[in-house]
Chain A
Amino acid sequence: MAEELNFICTACPQGCSLTVLMENGEVIEVTGNSCKKGLDYAQAETSDPRRMVATTVKIHNGFHPLLPVYTERPVPKPMIPQVLAEIRKVEVEAPVVMKSVVLENVLGTGINVLASRSMPAKG
């Protein structure tokens, strides 16, 4: 018995409405997508949904008190609260260069957390 799922693809800002036919936990058909990213998204969303996480960490002696950071790749959706909690423990020292690693291999996911921008030291 095929099961039909409807959701919105978040792979790009276009936001296509996907219709996904599932059978025995496998994707058998995807419609509504306008590119290949939609197929990959449907596959991932039904097996291992992931999201990019962006937040801030405390920076000492920085031009601003916070440094924005992001995960270099999407992390498993159910892990987002723990990922945020791990990132919250991090404190860095200015100056920082954009895309430098502020937290390596967060929670064993193999995914690094990177600085979203360079941050010079205070004045």
Chain B
Amino acid sequence: MLAKQIYDVVVVGSGPGGVAAAIEAKKAGADDVLIIERDTELGGILLQCIHNGFGLELLKEDLPGPGYAQHFIEEMLSLHVEVLLNTMVMDITPQRHLFLSSKEHGYVEIEARAIVLAMGCRERTRAQIRIPGYRPNGIYTAGTAQRWVNVEGYMPGKEVVILGSGDIGMIMARRMTFEGAHVERVLEIQSYLSGLSRNLVQCLQDYNIPLQLNHTIKRILGKNRVEAIEAVQVDEKWNFVPGTEEVIPCDTLLLSVGLIPENELSRQAGVKLDPVTSGPYVDESFQTNVPGIFAAGNVVHVYDLVDWVSEAGFSAGKSAAQFAIALRNAEARYTPLIAGKNVRYVVPHKLDKSTLEQEDIRLQMRVTRPIEQPVWVEVHDGENLITRKAERYVRPGEMVTVILKTKNYADVAKSRQLTIDINPR
């Protein structure tokens, strides 16, 4: 079973944003922090980003992605954050209940005082850019190819064309070259590079891989396997320029055509999304429009640098902890009053402990059925009797009252809830 049913902070996703949020939530005083990851290990997409260049800003060190991830994961684990792997969050309610499907625990409902959404983003696919033609084998997003080549040990193909000059596309151009493939060229529909200039230099120019701006793919040739693509030049409105078509033989097409924040869960929780970023609207503490639900990293908007994702995670984690602590203090101030044995209801439903320190509080209730014999009306906290009152009988038509006295304050202050039972004497 999970260690707790109610957590101060629950983080969804263990990429750099989520891990940073969990770290800072703990440091800011949250007691129970849980991080949920759907994959078999912590780290998110950094685990497949084996190139270096991570951490230059935050760690003053030039690390590969997996090393950057591990640095922060180790810090998080040293702070005793609870980890749940192989677990999908199926639903989140605006009241911050989470419904999980876990390999180990089955279907579980938990409650959070604050939630940090850190689901990251996913790649746009062929479907979103509408390339006509057959649907042959050999068309992958750059990130899928990256996972195969760097983690699982499969090569997607030998003769490669890349559509889109996003960073992952350029990095995969170099990576495929390292692994013996021939990258014919990179096509970019815009008139400018879409990724970082440094990647143009160290991923394309260093290996003489041509980049063609203002070019896209008109159609894909090949029925079972990609055999070629037809490239075409576009004008400033992205219309094909007739007569510029060129058939490029290849067996693999990688797409690096943008990332979309992954916000299905956010939507279910009632989080409002900005149509421009596709991520939640957030305030300066990274709180969404739903109180107690925060968001950090690529789930909010797509970042250039992982260092900045971590920084966003730190902010969101700190804010989430502060929210959870304020809520916990408010909860601690009140004691709920529970109708127990033979009691239908109790008014008031909860009491402010600090009031009892100043004055007596009268509890009123009705019984569920007549008991025509002497009874005790007992107020207890589950273990200890706090006060009791004798009645000769109780009947539903006659309201029962019992008074909690200021002298009971010390006992009530320690209780999580009070229950009223009516038992025969």
Contact = CB atoms under 8 A, between A and B. Distances in A.
B64 A54 contact: yes
B198 A68 contact: no
Identify the interface centre among B62, B67, B152: most chain A CB within 10 Å of its CB: B67
Contacts of A99: 67
B252 to A, nearest CB: 19
A61 B144 CA distance: 24
* Interface of B (DSSP majority class): helix
Contacts of B198: 8-10, 12-13, 15
A66 B178 contact: no
Contacts of B53: 13, 52
A70 B50 contact: yes
Contacts of A19: none
17 contacts: A7-B201, A8-B198, A10-B201, A10-B202, A12-B198, A13-B304, A15-B201, A17-B197, A54-B52, A56-B149, A63-B41, A65-B153, A66-B150, A70-B64, A116-B63, A116-B64, A116-B65
Interface residues of A, number: 26
Interface in A2-38: 7-10, 12-13, 15, 17
A79 interface: no
Interface in B52-66: 52-53, 56, 62-66
B206 interface: yes
Contacts of B62: 52
A118 B69 CA distance: 11
Contact of B197 (A15, A65, A98, A118): A15
Interface string B164-190: 000000000000001100000000000
B98 interface: no
Contacts of A15: 196-198, 201
Interface of B: 41, 47, 50-53, 56, 62-67, 69-70, 149-153, 178-179, 196-198, 200-202, 206, 304-305
Given A56-B150, A98-B70, 16 more contacts: A13-B53, A15-B198, A15-B201, A52-B52, A52-B62, A56-B149, A64-B151, A66-B153, A68-B66, A68-B150, A70-B50, A70-B52, A70-B64, A84-B178, A98-B66, A117-B64
The 5 closest A-B pairs by CB, nearest first: A15-B197, A117-B66, A68-B50, A116-B64, A10-B198
A116 B200 contact: no
A20 to B, nearest CB: 14
B191 to A, nearest CB: 17
A111 to B, nearest CB: 13
Identify the interface centre among B41, B53, B66, B200: most chain A CB within 10 Å of its CB: B66
Contacts of B150: 56, 66, 68
B201 to A, nearest CB: 5
A117 B200 contact: no
A43 interface: no
A9 B200 CA distance: 11
Nearest to B43: A117
Nearest to B193: A15
